[in-house]
A and B are shown apart, each in its own frame.
Chain A
């Protein structure tokens, strides 16, 4: 096989592995960015964080929020809810960034996966 073509195919393999591990990282982060309370489950998003912050700054102590299934859930302690989702979002995205950079910097399939493929 042409050497250039062989190199290109090897690079394509590397890119596929890289993209797959990044997609998996996003998937795992999506799961970690869930918070359940009072029978409802909420994906923690920037929008949710900001909306809850707005409710708190409007002196609301409790509010009804629509969860993942669009079910109205009464959140009785907005401040405690906010503290949890804000902290979780920060922790998960920081970890996601660290993992992302590690994957992006890897130049070989075995480095992306952090495994020893042997000879």
Chain B
């Protein structure tokens, strides 16, 4: 049975997702000790090859799969990116092809991880060899624990929110059905957007997979699709800021106090996987992270 991680990286005008994926792939290699396959587009890959040495790329990625980019989608699907309160920019959010992870994965067992979900422990190794063909999480936890965690439902009149930040799957009919359904949601997004009372028109993988899971659950809440074997996905928001790399799997973060815009609490996150929404702050520390993990 082959096992590995896949990540997607499609750069936009400001965010170097390739570099973020490179950092995280090095962290995966150290903590999970499995190979990483990167799914990217030609422009992003050319940029990556120009920016980083061949040896480093080889260390991080076992395979690089180059896919076509849908430039109409790239321009149309935009979201707000923040770097604390200092910067707010609307940028393309290219995430329309995550349903292709099933087909593109070269592994029998795959962990599909968002590039900005930093792997700082071996916790996800509990997935390998699972009796289940597909696992996903419906539980997140703020790294500032007193801050209220993200909502449980997509909308008060909609369905349970599942997080496509980390997805485990085996090459199997069940997993294939989930990914095909997510693709079907993407292809018919206007319909599903209305049907499920999605909060806005932006395409989000979390919503597409939540709808797919809902359908796999025979349109019921929480019946048969198993959750990942970890307690929750720890996250920081884009108003928070990574400020230091203290060593292996050890970061210092400024966490915005609840309901306060310019007041922060210091936190030190050690040995727990962490979803980092503030991409700029992650990029500011990425050279240091590459140095530590390479």
B137 vs chain A, min Cβ distance (A): 12
Q: Given the known A-B contacts A39-B131, A69-B132, are A109 and B121 also in contact in the complex, defined by CB atoms under 8 Å?
A: no
Instruction: Contact check, B132 vs A30: say whether CB atoms are below 8 A apart.
Output: no
**A27, A34, A36, A114: which contacts B141 (Cβ < 8 A)?**
A27
| Complex-state Cα separation, A33 to B107, whole angstroms | 28
A115 within 8 A of B: yes
Instruction: Contact check, B226 vs A24: say whether CB atoms are below 8 A apart.
Output: no
Instruction: Contact check, B267 vs A17: say whether CB atoms are below 8 A apart.
Output: yes
Instruction: Contact check, A69 vs B126: say whether CB atoms are below 8 A apart.
Output: no
Beta-carbon contacts under 8 Å, A77-117 to B? 109, 113-115, 117
**A24, A34, A39, A113: which contacts B145 (Cβ < 8 A)?**
A24
B268 vs chain A, min Cβ distance (A): 4
**A16, A31, A38, A39: which contacts B146 (Cβ < 8 A)?**
A16
B269 within 8 A of A: yes
- Report the stretch among B14-22, B229-237, B277-285 that lies at the interface: B229-237
A57 vs chain B, min Cβ distance (A): 28
**A31, A36, A71: which contacts B272 (Cβ < 8 A)?**
A31
A41 vs chain B, min Cβ distance (A): 3
Interface size on B, residues (CB 8 A): 32
Instruction: Contact check, A27 vs B272: say whether CB atoms are below 8 A apart.
Output: yes
| Complex-state Cα separation, A36 to B228, whole angstroms | 12
Q: Given the known A-B contacts A17-B265, A31-B230, A36-B129, are A113 and B146 also in contact in the complex, defined by CB atoms under 8 Å?
A: no
A60 within 8 A of B: no
Instruction: Contact check, B268 vs A69: say whether CB atoms are below 8 A apart.
Output: no
User: Which A residues lie within 8 Å of B266 (CB)?
Assistant: 17, 109, 113, 115, 117
| Complex-state Cα separation, A22 to B90, whole angstroms | 36
Residue of B nearest to A113 (CB): B268
| Complex-state Cα separation, A13 to B260, whole angstroms | 13
**B146, B227, B232: which contacts A19 (Cβ < 8 A)?**
B146
User: Which A residues lie within 8 Å of B141 (CB)?
Assistant: 27
A92 vs chain B, min Cβ distance (A): 12
User: Which A residues lie within 8 Å of B269 (CB)?
Assistant: 24
Interface size on A, residues (CB 8 A): 28
B125 vs chain A, min Cβ distance (A): 8
Instruction: Contact check, B227 vs A69: say whether CB atoms are below 8 A apart.
Output: yes
Instruction: Contact check, A16 vs B265: say whether CB atoms are below 8 A apart.
Output: yes
Beta-carbon contacts under 8 Å, B216-267 to A? 226-227, 229-232, 234, 244, 246, 252, 255, 257, 265-267
Q: Mark A40-75, 1 if CB is under 8 A from B, else 0.
A: 110000000000000000000000000111010100
User: Which A residues lie within 8 Å of B145 (CB)?
Assistant: 19-20, 23-24, 27
**B132, B244, B265, B270: which contacts A20 (Cβ < 8 A)?**
B265
Instruction: Contact check, B268 vs A73: say whether CB atoms are below 8 A apart.
Output: no
B215 within 8 A of A: no
12 contacts between A and B (CB under 8 A): A13-B265, A16-B146, A16-B265, A17-B266, A19-B146, A20-B255, A21-B268, A27-B272, A34-B126, A71-B131, A113-B252, A115-B246
A residues adjacent to B (C-beta < 8 A): 13, 16-17, 19-21, 23-24, 27-28, 30-31, 34, 36, 38-41, 67-69, 71, 73, 109, 113-115, 117
The 8 closest A-B pairs by CB, nearest first: A39-B131, A41-B229, A23-B145, A69-B226, A113-B268, A36-B126, A31-B123, A41-B126
Q: 13 extra interchain contacts, Cβ-Cβ under 8 A, other than A23-B145, A69-B227? A: A16-B257, A19-B145, A31-B121, A34-B230, A36-B129, A39-B129, A40-B130, A41-B130, A69-B226, A69-B229, A71-B131, A113-B268, A114-B268
